């Protein structure tokens, strides 16, 4: 039965990886894989020799002597435990996505375009790289990429040049997402899973992530495509949807940044702070949206129309629910493998067979640096979310152990090496119709250099803690 479960997981994983070839949204195989894995566990519960206790991070003693009712009760408790942990991540992401959509409702991101006041190609490259690095740490790398490429399309008319900018934005956005607990889904998973704290994550990864962004941007600035000035068409200034655009941008970004502070002060799960931030942003959104209307000229029809187009309701209707369902499926499927002790056994095999890079040992290191580097390379080929979810089940080092920070860096930045290796890359691929092999030839080598330079920098910064 264990073999059947592993086979279902592998087939589901392949379907997720080949999403673009199969023309099937990855949420479908993720949900099918999750449901079938847990169904097989329920049907074969009597035959399993071991069970992993997720709460204590160890195999449960005497599982074979449990009665059928005890095993069923244990499976239900384990399923509920994993659903609760997964729900923490999903509710957090729902809150963050809604705040971003509220900012977009007021056209807040148009304010960012005001930062670009030069025609020199290299200066624009650095402006977009730094903006991607900072924005992705606050609103996540996927959203930052969408926002910046949308602005890029209005500034850079030459598509050939714009593709290079888009490639560097992908690298910078993934690098920026790695050092922030709210910058990437994988770092959010590690943060909510109590594997990393905000202070240590920033301390360990800020320098490596910055170098991962800066080195490729520096090298790219010497490429022929970035020489000279841009041909920017002088047109009429775009009219913003709302006079509250800038205010809602800063309020929304500030509310998201407030979440880690709230967690540090109250020690409550991050989704609680995110819900508080969302309620504050939503309150101001409702107040500002009503100011667009004159109360003296409000007819009942206008009032009804406004109720339907409330900024909060509008934003909730636009959030990426397919992504939320994908995360539900993949995290619960990985939880199935963890519960049977399969990931625990696999981790033990890795620790015994993989050599370490270097001779200096650090606290809690049973895992080779090479394993984590390969995880980064793997995240460029397959989705980094299941890779990190698997690492949560495989490795059991304590909170803020250097392993977890290296995992956050590798999974977050390694995906830049291929256009399909990260959510930021996939969305840029769709927005600009970037060819897979064009990216492989023109951008991948820059991403690889940045990844390796950042990894070496991490091996230095970890000695400081």
How many CB atoms lie under 10 A from the CB of residue 333?
28
3-state SS assignment for residue 408: helix
81 located within any domain: no
Domain containing residue 269: 92-321
In the numeric block, which tokens belong to residue 277? Answer: 């931030």
Which range, 56-65, 73-82, 104-113, 319-328, has the best average confidence (pLDDT)?
A: 73-82
pLDDT band at 328 (very low <50, low <70, confident <90, very high): confident
Give me the long-range contacts of 93-96 (CB less than 8 A, separation at least 24): 93/185, 93/188, 93/323, 93/324, 93/327, 94/319, 94/324, 95/271, 95/274, 95/275, 95/277, 95/278, 96/139, 96/140, 96/182, 96/256, 96/274
3-state SS assignment for residue 305: helix
To the nearest whole number, what is the mean pLDDT of the chain? 81
45 located within any domain: no
396 located within any domain: no
pLDDT in tens, 304-327: 444 446 888 888 888 878 878 888
Structural domain count, the chain: 1
Q: Report CA 221 to chain centroid distance, whole Å.
A: 27
pLDDT in tens, 118-148: 778 888 899 999 999 998 888 878 778 888 8
453 located within any domain: no
How many CB atoms lie under 10 A from the CB of residue 123?
16
Helices (H), 18-120: 19-22, 27-43, 68-105
273 located within any domain: yes
**pLDDT in the model for residue 445:** 93
The rounded distance, in Å, linking the Cα atoms of 326 and 377 is 22
pLDDT in tens, 32-42: 999 999 999 99
Cβ contact 171:213 at 8 Å: yes
411 located within any domain: no
Q: Which of the residue ranges 24-33, 70-79, 231-240 would you say has the lowest mean pLDDT?
A: 231-240
Buried b (16+ CB within 10 A) or exposed e, 298-314: eeeeeeeeeeeebbbeb
**pLDDT in the model for residue 275:** 93
299 located within any domain: yes
Percentage, residues of the chain above pLDDT 90? 18
425 located within any domain: no
pLDDT in tens, 438-447: 888 989 999 9
**pLDDT in the model for residue 360:** 42
Please say if the pLDDT value at position 233 is more than 60: no
Residue range 239-255: mean pLDDT, rounded: 80
């Amino acid at each position: 039965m264990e073999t059947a479960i592993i086979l279902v997981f592998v087939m589901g994983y392949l379907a997720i990886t080949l999403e673009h070839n199969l023309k099937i949204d990855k949420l479908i195989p993720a949900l099918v894989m999750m449901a079938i894995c847990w169904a097989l566990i329920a049907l074969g519960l009597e035959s399993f020799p071991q069970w992993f206790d997720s709460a204590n991070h160890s195999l449960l003693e005497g599982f074979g002597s449990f009665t059928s009712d005890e095993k069923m009760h244990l499976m239900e408790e384990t399923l509920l435990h994993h659903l609760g942990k997964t729900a923490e991540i999903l509710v957090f992401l729902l809150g963050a996505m809604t705040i971003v959509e509220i900012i977009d409702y007021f056209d807040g991101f148009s304010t960012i375009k005001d930062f670009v006041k030069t025609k020199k190609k290299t200066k624009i490259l650095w402006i977009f790289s730094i903006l991607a690095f900072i924005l992705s740490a606050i609103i996540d790398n996927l959203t930052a990429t969408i926002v910046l490429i949308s602005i890029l399309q209005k500034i850079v008319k030459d598509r050939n040049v714009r593709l290079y900018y888009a490639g560097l934005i992908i690298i910078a956005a993934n690098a920026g997402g790695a050092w922030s607990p709210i910058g990437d889904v994988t770092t959010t998973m590690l943060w909510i899973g109590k594997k990393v704290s905000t202070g240590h994550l920033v301390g360990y990864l800020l320098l490596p992530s910055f170098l991962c962004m800066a080195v490729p941007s520096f090298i790219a600035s010497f490429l022929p495509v970035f020489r000279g000035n841009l041909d920017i068409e002088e047109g009429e200034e775009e009219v913003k949807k709302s006079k509250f655009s800038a205010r809602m941008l800063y309020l929304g970004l500030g509310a998201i940044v407030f979440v880690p502070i709230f967690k540090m002060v109250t020690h409550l799960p991050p989704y609680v702070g995110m819900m508080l931030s969302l309620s504050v942003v939503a309150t101001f959104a409702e107040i500002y949206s009503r100011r667009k209307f004159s109360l003296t000229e409000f007819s009942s029809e206008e009032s009804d129309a406004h109720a339907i187009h409330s900024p909060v309701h509008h934003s909730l209707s636009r959030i990426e629910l397919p992504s939320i369902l994908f995360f539900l499926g993949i995290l619960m499927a990985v939880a199935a493998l963890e519960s049977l002790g399969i990931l625990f056994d696999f981790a033990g095999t890795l620790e015994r067979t993989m050599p370490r890079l270097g001779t200096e040992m650090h606290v809690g290191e049973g895992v080779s640096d090479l394993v984590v580097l390969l995880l980064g390379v793997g995240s460029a080929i397959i989705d980094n979310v299941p890779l990190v979810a698997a690492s949560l089940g495989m490795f059991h080092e304590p909170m803020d152990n250097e392993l977890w920070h290296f995992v956050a860096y590798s999974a977050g930045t390694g995906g830049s090496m291929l256009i399909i290796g990260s959510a930021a890359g996939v969305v840029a691929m769709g927005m600009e119709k970037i060819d897979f092999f064009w990216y492989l030839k023109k951008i991948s080598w820059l991403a690889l250099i940045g990844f390796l330079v950042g990894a070496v920098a991490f091996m230095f910064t970890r000695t400081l803690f």
